[in-house]
Structure 1
């Protein structure tokens, strides 16, 4: 009897096919179970992230609420009820406008993120069902869970971990305290390049950092060759940085006035000029530039300072389109610095730094709303392999500065900046503030033959070009335009290998960076004056 083997072969093929389908089905089920677990994990991270971003954004609101209630208690007694009702209705309308901007910005960010994720999901399902090469739904689910974990947990940890590398660490070598007052310390910044020696008879520079967010941005990542102050020091320039003492524990800082600031700057410039035998270049960054200008215009620095550099400095805040528009929409009753002021246990009043930073977020709500920020970060870190996410030191350091460097501010100093944003400079160049009961006028810079360099950022969304260049309406000054945004001069361009390095000329206009400006001044004004013999003594200090 002859057996037809073809039947057995077909049966075997059918059995193998069934076994293959069963194995494939089983594998897909296992992947589905794993994907479900990853989706549950992703959902937990997702809502944790949403709540975290909302909590961080709203925290200043609860702080500001106490000051708001205290100020309103006083205003309610001196305001007609109908005026109060009108003001609160206008405030509600203002809040709706801010919320609308935040809502629209958040919707756009959510749409951009979820559209990308939806495309990935569709492709993954097709790859899974038809056994096409590429990421399947399990890979996509695992990647999404890892992405959200990176944003919610890994990224904040990287920001915290960058602290030892970011900013000034005066307890380490490389800094020498030269002098101090009750409010400030003056440190000399030494070169990080061991081949460079400080020119003791070189033209010195004193750098004034902003009160808001502090000085660390000017010493961004010194060991990565990204540091504004070391850009000067590594060229051999005698470089000094003025550092405000801890406002939380220093009553003299809490009660500081503009006059105190000017007197302390004068004292430091006297010490530096005596040390090096040369007049000082005063360099203010951001708010520090505004403070440096007021100090110079007060006359307190006459005979001590012969050059001025301002970098992204809000000289006339009324020319800041976005902030002025924000303030114009705010009812007049609430344009009061008192809403950000808190009274300390010792009776001193300071401006809450967290609340002040929040104001800048509110004016750019379409880019600062918590949901927008959350989805922006998700999009920023979304990549093909979320398991191998590398966070750049630059990104971590910038966010460390924004998150952890906020501090309270002296009320009188903040009032100076507040006035500059609400009262324009007069037609003759007179500023809206006084120091020592003296008028401050830009023309004094010309009268004293001060060399003046103004640096601004072309894409600055914090200090508008018109705000930084306001002095040009009254006096002549050299202007240097840097690409990118507000902090780029201190971060991107502080690298000496960058396209717009601070010690070079660059751009179509052959602009001078601030370090190049200082080096050229050094050669032009060199009188070959030898400094007094240097003695390593305790830092000088003065009270008052």
Structure 2
């Protein structure tokens, strides 16, 4: 009898405890429902935001496309136009399929994991188990979405004060100027370091498309390509393109203008320091630097060259060649990226050019894919608040806000280099001053050349960067990571591949594993009077 009474008593106590917990369940479920409603609103806002940012250049491209097609349609037979448009439609479908397939895969993987977390939180709620309950789970997801959609973009905008060049804040001095460019000296961040006035000067040439700021990434964080040179006491100079929106001379400039202005700057630096200049081009700036050298305009002024992730023969870029091979020949025309300024000058829209590169890599650049990628970057299940690193914010500031419009003639040179291969004898597909340009001339000039490439560069791959090795000798340094890593990750002096050091990195193409950073290369030239170096024969 007592046992029966005890059993009934225990059952009643369990029921009472369960009833007592019902209001807590209801509260958590109600809180979770409110969190889900807010999350849904932010989620769909994010989908629209990411899609709109991706598609914004499309409207500019569509206008240029329509204007050019009005002319081409009149000059082409109707059947040819119909065939070209069908091929273009097929091309668009292929791109869309690639983007959608990867997006669905990413979204499926993300939501499958989230479903597991949601079910675990639901069980924890109803069984009063330890661990995250449903209210905590939905609150974490709400905060994650708010971080990605609202907080992160603000951090990207706010990093502007620390990112890139701020010539008005000190640390730089303008030493020369033309109608198109300004030349600034970069001073050491470490006040204890003195610039060697008798040192070997280096002039750094940034890319046109994404500007110069990537080369002064985060100086206060000790991540700055240009300051890696200056902090070693090297006389360091950066060539800055004037604002294309307000400078007609930039809007209409040609390759000849670039070469003449470069010659003028090199004359100033050689006179100032009494030594020939090292020319250092990053990405597109490297290609332009080689063109200028081969033109003969810099003879007697430059005796060393450094190129970083620079395309020497764009037709060897596997991913871009594959992309262009599917595009009908009719539409391989730079005119589709042109825009006309209020003064009538035509320039190439930088956002459209950046968009083309996104289409090339649509598998990882599709708007919804990038949204989920950002979610995963900040998603933490350990309860700790996610952190927004300054590096991530600065990289995205570069990608979002540093696209620059480009002079038409300068873009045409790069366009030709990506559509016409270097000839079998080493002649480039571009000319300036009416002169043929051949890689072999660098050997005749006695130019010492260091080529720095990114092992995982998906913008300028290894074959495009090293094309000149078929014709001349150059030293090669292979850096881990991708296109911007030399200016970001490896510009930190304490990094594994610091620019002022020699480091060991195994390359798939070369037997040698020891590489010299570009700053080390410049220091060795400076200290040994240029009579140094080892080469890798292509």
Q: Could you say whether these structures have the same fold, taking a TM-score greater than 0.5 normalized by the shorter chain as the test?
A: yes
Report the Cα distance in structure 2 between the residues aligned to 1:29 and 1:387, rounded to whole angstroms. 26
Which residue of structure 2 lines up, in the alignment, with residue 440 of structure 1?
A: 437
Counterpart mapping for 1:387-426 below 5 A: 388-426=385-423
What displacement does 1:329 show? Answer: 0.4
Report the Cα distance in structure 2 between the residues aligned to 1:79 and 1:511, rounded to whole angstroms. 53
Contact 1:197 1:236 in 2 (8 A): yes
Structure 1 stretch displaced more, 187-196 or 138-147: 138-147
Contact 2:477 2:515 in 1 (8 A): yes
What displacement does 1:23 show? Answer: 1.9
Structure 1 stretch displaced more, 389-398 or 8-17: 8-17
Pick the aligned partner of 1:480 from 477, 497, 517.
477
Pick the aligned partner of 2:304 from 303, 307, 326.
307
Report the Cα distance in structure 1 between the residues aligned to 2:56 and 2:3, rounded to whole angstroms. 78
Counterpart mapping for 1:338-353 below 5 A: 338-353=335-350
Structure 1 stretch displaced more, 126-135 or 191-200: 126-135
Pick the aligned partner of 2:163 from 155, 162, 166.
166
Counterpart mapping for 1:140-539 below 5 A: 140-384=137-381, 388-508=385-505, 509-525=513-529
Report the Cα distance in structure 2 between the residues aligned to 1:478 and 1:101, rounded to whole angstroms. 38
Pick the aligned partner of 1:42 from 6, 22, 39.
39
What displacement does 1:146 show? Answer: 1.1
The runs of 5 or more residues in structure 2 that have no matched partner are 506-512, 532-538
What displacement does 1:385 show? Answer: 5.3
Q: How many residues align?
A: 524
Contact 2:122 2:133 in 1 (8 A): yes
The runs of 5 or more residues in structure 1 that have no matched partner are 528-544
What displacement does 1:136 show? Answer: 1.2
Give 3-state SS (helix, strand or coil) of 1:480's partner: strand
Report the Cα distance in structure 1 between the residues aligned to 2:384 and 2:462, rounded to whole angstroms. 42
- Which of structure 1's runs of 4+ aligned residues deviate more than 4 A? 4-16
Which residue of structure 1 lines up, in the alignment, with residue 536 of structure 2?
A: none
- Structure 1 residues 520-543: Cα deviation after superposition (integer angstroms, max 9, x where no partner): 00012179xxxxxxxxxxxxxxxx
Report the Cα distance in structure 2 between the residues aligned to 1:170 and 1:72, rounded to whole angstroms. 43
Contact 2:39 2:142 in 1 (8 A): yes
Give 3-state SS (helix, strand or coil) of 1:390's partner: coil
Which residue of structure 1 lines up, in the alignment, with residue 535 of structure 2?
A: none
Contact 2:524 2:530 in 1 (8 A): no
Report the Cα distance in structure 2 between the residues aligned to 1:128 and 1:491, rounded to whole angstroms. 45
Verify: 1:71 aligned to 2:68, yes or no.
yes
Report the Cα distance in structure 1 between the residues aligned to 2:429 and 2:77, rounded to whole angstroms. 30
Query: CA 1:312–1:96 in 2, change beyond 3 Å: closer, same or farther?
Result: same
Contact 1:113 1:378 in 2 (8 A): no
- Structure 1 residues 463-487: Cα deviation after superposition (integer angstroms, max 9, x where no partner): 0100000110000000000011110
- Structure 1 residues 254-285: Cα deviation after superposition (integer angstroms, max 9, x where no partner): 00000000000000000111111110000000
Report the Cα distance in structure 2 between the residues aligned to 1:193 and 1:432, rounded to whole angstroms. 44
